[in-house]
């Protein structure tokens, strides 16, 4: 009796798994086709983070933000006093400064620069401040654009554009062009090189050239090469960020700029001994 029952049910038992398998195959294919996006569709954005399932989501969000900052999103600041010096020579005792401060990241920075000089007895002779936006366009090159304001001897406002780069063999060079509100065009080129003689002793040659596109009696600037300054400074780094120095500086006016200086009784050429401090923090 049992044998007859099993023989009667055998065809049904064999057909049921086959039908279920075929049905599952069709349903699985349909489900897979519905879930797989088209090849042209963008991948879905992540809506959760796996780590949040095991640790505090607030703490993990803070950790992710810190990682973003440390992998290129951090902000830094620096104040750099390249030159802060006292000068003495036939022209008389004088002082000179050149420095900058910046704030930003690896690619974008806000830069404030200042440069000027004066005589101990006569007072301030020239002073300028620049506010610039700096953008890194290469590993060793930044482009800059902003405003320059001269306070002495004549008030002038300029549009400023330029570039700063570290060339092979560690030559630090910079070039800037300025357009004043009066239509005057000026160009400045600067360069320096640090020659490390000993672990803490550095010899730095430095040069600055100034050019003008036209004669400007108001600012006592002549067309072409208007002035040049060459310097040689030997500094001792008590710390990397604190280094007193001594050296020599040579200045010369050219062309019509020299004529303007002679008309006012100023020296055209001067050589000075300098002593000062280079510092940053």
CATH number at residue 88: 2.40.160.40
- Token output for 87: 């000068």
pLDDT at 72: 64
150 has which bridge partners?
A: 128, 156
Does 32 reside within a domain?
A: no
Does 34 reside within a domain?
A: no
The residues, any chain, with a CB within 8 Å of residue 154's CB and separated by 6 or more, are 218, 219
What's the pLDDT tens digit per position in 87-130? 998 778 999 999 999 999 989 999 999 999 999 988 899 999 99
| Domain total of the chain | 1
pLDDT at 32: 45
Does 42 reside within a domain?
A: no
| Residue 159, domain extent | 77-280
Its pTM stands at 0.75
Does 15 reside within a domain?
A: no
Does 20 reside within a domain?
A: no
Q: Whats the size of the chain, residue-wise?
A: 281
Tell whether the model's pLDDT for residue 31 goes beyond 90.
no
Does 10 reside within a domain?
A: no
Task: Measure CA 100 to chain center.
Answer: 12
Does 202 reside within a domain?
A: yes
Query: Under DSSP, is residue 5 helix (H, G, I), strand (E, B) or coil?
Result: helix
Reported as a pLDDT band with limits 50, 70 and 90, residue 24 is very low
Does 41 reside within a domain?
A: no
């Amino acid at each position: 009796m049992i044998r007859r029952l099993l023989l009667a049910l055998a065809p049904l038992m064999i057909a049921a798994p086959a039908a279920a398998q075929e049905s599952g195959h069709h349903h699985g294919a349909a489900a897979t086709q519905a879930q797989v996006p088209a090849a042209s569709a963008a991948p879905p954005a992540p809506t959760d983070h796996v780590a949040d399932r095991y640790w505090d989501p607030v703490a993990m969000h803070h950790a992710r933000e810190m990682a973003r900052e440390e992998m290129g999103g951090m902000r830094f600041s620096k104040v750099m006093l390249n030159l802060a010096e006292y000068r003495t020579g036939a022209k008389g005792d004088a002082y000179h400064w050149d420095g900058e401060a910046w704030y930003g990241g690896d690619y974008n920075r806000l830069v404030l620069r200042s440069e000027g000089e004066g005589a101990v007895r006569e007072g301030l002779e020239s002073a300028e401040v620049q506010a610039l936006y700096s953008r890194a366009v290469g590993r060793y090159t930044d482009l800059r654009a902003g405003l320059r304001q001269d306070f002495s001897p004549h008030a002038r406002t300029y549009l400023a554009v330029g570039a700063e780069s570290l060339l092979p063999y560690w030559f630090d060079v910079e070039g800037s062009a300025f357009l004043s509100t009066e239509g005057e065009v000026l160009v400045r080129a600067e360069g320096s090189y640090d020659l490390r003689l000993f672990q803490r002793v550095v010899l730095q040659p430095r040069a600055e050239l100034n050019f003008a596109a036209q004669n400007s009696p108001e600012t006592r600037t002549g067309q072409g090469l208007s002035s040049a300054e060459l310097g040689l400074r030997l500094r001792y780094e008590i710390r990397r960020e604190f280094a007193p120095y001594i050296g020599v500086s040579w200045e010369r006016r050219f062309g019509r700029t020299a004529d303007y200086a002679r008309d006012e009784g100023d020296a055209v050429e001067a050589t000075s001994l300098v002593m000062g401090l280079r510092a940053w923090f």
